[in-house]
Structure 1
Amino acid sequence: MNSHQNHPGAHDAEDLTPAGEDLAALLERLLSQAKGKTQKNLADESGVTYQTLNAWMNRTRGTSRIDPDRLRALAGAFREWGVETSVREFFEAVGRPAPGRLSEERESRLLKLYRQLPPDKQRLLVEDAEIMTKIVSGQ
């Protein structure tokens, strides 16, 4: 399994987002390229409720704390529809740094190390990773 299969929406395309484009503008632009697709289709395909997606598109709900998997799912839906996009576009549109490329070798090594730790140390490692994720995402 390659890294693209591990995380839907993983894509190493060049940054395609026009400078300063927020999530609402990005979604509108990409939906205009997805012929015959609607906000409802996007909500269904990505697992985001229609109400939440609509609020993002109308800028009535903040986007800085969107779960990274939701951003990946949105990018994945567009790519399934043949629209060229990248996960990086979505992260930049919400003002967050895009995660690094996935490495199966590194992921496997980390999991192996994790499994070698006693339960209390596994818990600490997970807590540390959660803290690092919050720092990186600006939360």
Structure 2
Amino acid sequence: MDWWQVVLGVLAGVLVVYVVLLGLLWAYARRHPDTVSAREALRLLPDVVRLVKRLAGDGSLPRGVRIRLGLLLVYLASPLDLVPDVVPVIGYADDAVVVALVLRSVVRAAGPGALDRHWPGSPTGLELVRRLAGVSAAGPA
């Protein structure tokens, strides 16, 4: 087998994984239309980043939760995304979906009170983040 065949095989594998991830992103967005829109999530981005940093630094949270939050910060800071941010609307929507998935995981592991304790923004913003994390007024969704 030549080196170029190996390179083509690896590139084809990466392309398949990319397409599968995009399909999962699309399926998730269609299954959860009641969550926060991408536009709303973008407005919250600075407060959400501060929230994630505060949660990641909270020693009372389980280590696995803090690791996920740290990886989320790396993903948000990275120029590499599932969908490049230069693509209108969808470019930022993948970031919002990844944030929603991680926040839902945090709420399952640490409880919705962790969001309330560490939220740096307005009460309206907290309500949007609670929706993004799948937490209703009555508790986790």
Pairwise TM-score range, normalised by the shorter structure: 0.3 to 0.5
Q: TM-score, normalised by structure 2?
A: 0.33
Give me the TM-score of the superposition, normalised by structure 1.
0.34
More helix by share: 2
